[in-house]
Amino acid sequence: MGFDDVIVAVAIGLVLVVLLLGLANMLRGGSANRSQQLMRLRVLLQFVAIVVIMGVIWWRAA
């Protein structure tokens, strides 16, 4: 497993962790404001993960 594989796995893992935190917050009836913050963070992390994945694809094709 190369460095680029690790970066992709970390990016995807962070998205999964924030998604699960948001779901747990909603299921236990937590703050709606906290759910919104987690949702915004998830969307941002998804963007970063896509950029990282596209960068790795570009790097491997070069």
* pLDDT band (50, 70, 90) for residue 62: confident
Residue type, 43: V
Q: For residue 1, what are its two tokens?
A: 């497993």
Query: Phi-psi bin for 19: left (phi > 0), alpha (psi -120 to 50), beta?
Result: alpha
Collapsing DSSP to helix, strand or coil, 34 comes out as helix
Q: What are the tens digits of pLDDT across the range 3-61?
A: 999 999 999 999 999 999 999 999 999 898 999 999 999 999 999 999 999 999 999 99
Q: Using a cut of 0.85, tell me whether the model's pTM lies above it.
A: yes
Burial of 22 (0-12, 13-18, 19+ CB in 10 A): buried
